[in-house]
Each structure stands twice: as structure tokens, then as C-alpha cells.
């Protein structure tokens, strides 16, 4: 994708981008985020704890339940309570930022989506920053970095972020849903839902391998489809999991419509530009 083209903005936990902002002065760089996701999204570093003025390095904190409230207190010194500092940063962030999605660090007391340890009884929950973000922006796609390892969730996240970008920026070309409806077997006259809801249904449907293969074979016969995409479709072996086959098919349909999401979706479902061809060669 051309670097000059407007792209969706993802807020990403800064430690996942290789920034040494963790409590111990280290990072947790994620190669897929840095080397693949960055090609199709603007990645905006985010660290609520540094933003709250807690410094690097800093005492580690954990979530504890006090009555009906979760608080972030020191692991070694329970008198250290950074709850209000994180809340103040989050309020400022929500007033001043506009992003199309978030990739956040799992198990973080500030950033986790649902995996932050609470007390010592095995309970988990959202980090304090993320809990407020999700409550304020319930439509925003948010995922932990380990969630990106799941093919299905990765595809879903990428597409939802592009839809959010189209809504935020008014670039309606990013909202072309015709390939989703076509994949659902619905013509233009049958469109009665917004693109986001239609996408949710398409991705939740229990796809059968035979149905996806039939759609792919039909698409390969379309003379408008670029040859490179025809080769990509044909390179996916029959034994590939349905989610992968569906993802490549979605990407090819987007490309057929002249939609910039095609390459981004292909990266999302194909990993490091691999179709899982029998010989394992890059597509």
C-alpha cells in the first residue's frame, strides 16, 4: 500500500512496538504487528502507565478488588495505588484521540482486554484503561496481541478496523460491502442491513468447505479478476482450514471491487504472504 494513502489508525501498546516502556524497562515486541500489520495501518504507540506519569522503570502493579471496584496497586507495596492516575490519563485520552482499533498487551493491569489477573484467585478481567475505553467506545475493535494468532479473529479485527476508518473519515470507498453480500448469496435488492452487521453475519456463518470452494472456482472464472489473485486462490490447498479459504476469498472479492482492503485482508489471513500451498512457497 502506498505510504501516502490514508489508512486506518490503530492504537498499539507501545511495548508491542518494541518500545522499552514496561515496568522493568523492557519491551514485548510483536513481529507480526511490527512487520505485517504496519504495512496497512498507521500504528500509534500507547502506554497508559507511562502516559499517567508512572515512569520507566516503575513499581509493578496488579488489580485487586475492593468492594465493587477494581484498583491498581503495587505488587510489593499495596500502599502504592495508581488507579486515579490511570483514570485521569484515560479521561484525557478519550477526549483527544480518534482511532479505528486497538491492539493491546495481554495480562496488563492497564491494557488487557479480558486477561488481567485480579487478586490471586484465578479471576481475570480488563485492564483499567481498556475497561473505560470499551465502555465509552463499545463499537471499537479491540484485541490483545495473542488474539491476532487466531486466523478468524485476525480477519475479523482487520475488517472491522477498515469499516471504522470508513465511517470516521467519510471515505465511503472503504465501506464497499458488495463482496460480503455476494458471498452471502444476496443480490443488491436484498441488502437490508448496514455493512458492519452484514459482516458480523458473514463471519459468524458456519461455512462449509464445499461452499467456499464453489465460490472460489466461480470467482476464478471472472475475467476481471487480476491474474495474481487468481493464482492466490488456486494456491490454497483443499485441505486448508475453512477460515483460511474464506479469508483469501474475501480478500480476492475486495480486490475485484477495486477495494484497497484486498491486500490488507490477504496479509491478515495469509500470515507472511503465504497461502499454505502444498510446496510452502510464498504466493
**How many other C-beta atoms are found inside a 10 Å radius of the C-beta of residue 6?**
12
**Per-residue confidence at 167, pLDDT binned at 50, 70, 90?**
low
Q: What is the mean pLDDT of residues 68-82?
A: 93
Domain spans, the chain: 9-147, 150-270
**What's residue 4's pLDDT?**
59
% of the chain exceeding 90 in pLDDT: 40
**Is residue 135 pLDDT above 50, yes or no?**
yes
Higher pLDDT, 223 or 238: 223
Stronger pLDDT, 240 or 200, i.e. the higher one? 240
Quick one: pLDDT band at residue 98, thresholds 50, 70, 90? Answer: confident
Please give the model's pTM, rounded to 2 decimal places.
0.69
Kindly report the CA angle at 22 between 138 and 130, in degrees rounded to 5? 10
Which position has the higher pLDDT, 105 or 260? 105
pLDDT at 132 over 80: yes
Q: What is the mean pLDDT of residues 124-139?
A: 92
pLDDT over threshold 90, residue 187:
no
| 192-232 pLDDT, tens digit each | 344 444 444 544 454 445 566 667 777 788 888 888 888 88
Write down the mean pLDDT value for the chain. 77
Residue 273's pLDDT is 32
Is pLDDT at 123 greater than 80 in this prediction? yes
Lowest mean pLDDT among 13-22, 31-40, 159-168, 270-279: 270-279
3-state secondary structure the chain: CCCCCCCCEEEEEHHHHCCCCCCCCCCCCCHHHHHCHHHCCEEEEECHHHHCCCCCCCCCEEEEEECCEEEEEECCCCCCECHHHHHHHHHHHHHHCCCCEEEECCCCCCCCCCCEEECCCCEEECCHHHHHHHHHCCCCCEEEHHHHHCHHHHHHHHHHHHHHHHHHHCCHHHHCCHHHHHHCCCCHHHCCCCHHHHHHHHHHCCCCHHHHHHHHHHHHCCCCCCHHHHHHHHHCCCCCCHHHHHHHHHHHHHHHCCCCHHHHHHHHHHCCCECCCCCCCEC
Confidence of residue 165 (pLDDT cuts 50, 70, 90): confident
Q: Tens digits of per-residue pLDDT, 15-46?
A: 999 999 999 999 999 998 998 889 888 999 99
Q: Tell whether the model's pLDDT for residue 282 goes beyond 60.
A: no
Amino acid at each position: 500500500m502506498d505510504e501516502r494513502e490514508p489508512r486506518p489508525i490503530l492504537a498499539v501498546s507501545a511495548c508491542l512496538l518494541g518500545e522499552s516502556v514496561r515496568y522493568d524497562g523492557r519491551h514485548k515486541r510483536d513481529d507480526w504487528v511490527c512487520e505485517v500489520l504496519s504495512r496497512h495501518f498507521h500504528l500509534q504507540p500507547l502506554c497508559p502507565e507511562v502516559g499517567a506519569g508512572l515512569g520507566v522503570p516503575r513499581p509493578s502493579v496488579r488489580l485487586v478488588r475492593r468492594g465493587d471496584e477494581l484498583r491498581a496497586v503495587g505488587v510489593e507495596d499495596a500502599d502504592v495505588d495508581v488507579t486515579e492516575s490511570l483514570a485521569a490519563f484515560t479521561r484525557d485520552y478519550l477526549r483527544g484521540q480518534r482511532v479505528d482499533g486497538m491492539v493491546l498487551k495481554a495480562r496488563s493491569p492497564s491494557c488487557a482486554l479480558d486477561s488481567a489477573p485480579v487478586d490471586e484467585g484465578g479471576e481475570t478481567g480488563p485492564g483499567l484503561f481498556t475497561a473505560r475505553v470499551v465502555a465509552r467506545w463499545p463499537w471499537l475493535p479491540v484485541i490483545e496481541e495473542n488474539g491476532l494468532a487466531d486466523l478468524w479473529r485476525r480477519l475479523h479485527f482487520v475488517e472491522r478496523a477498515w469499516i471504522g476508518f470508513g465511517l470516521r473519515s467519510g471515505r465511503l470507498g472503504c465501506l464497499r460491502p458488495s463482496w460480503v453480500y455476494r458471498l452471502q448469496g444476496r443480490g443488491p435488492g436484498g441488502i437490508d442491513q448496514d455493512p458492519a452487521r452484514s459482516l458480523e453475519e458473514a463471519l459468524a456463518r458456519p461455512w462449509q468447505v464445499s461452499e467456499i470452494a464453489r465460490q472460489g472456482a466461480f470467482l476464478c472464472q471472472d475475467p476481471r479478476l487480476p491474474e495474481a489473485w487468481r493464482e492466490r486462490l488456486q494456491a490454497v490447498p483443499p485441505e486448508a482450514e475453512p477460515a483460511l479459504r474464506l479469508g483469501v476469498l474475501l480478500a480476492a472479492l475486495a480486490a475485484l471491487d477495486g477495494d484497497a482492503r484486498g491486500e490488507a485482508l490477504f496479509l491478515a489471513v495469509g500470515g507472511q504472504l503465504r497461502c499454505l500451498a502444498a510446496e510452502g512457497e510464498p504466493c
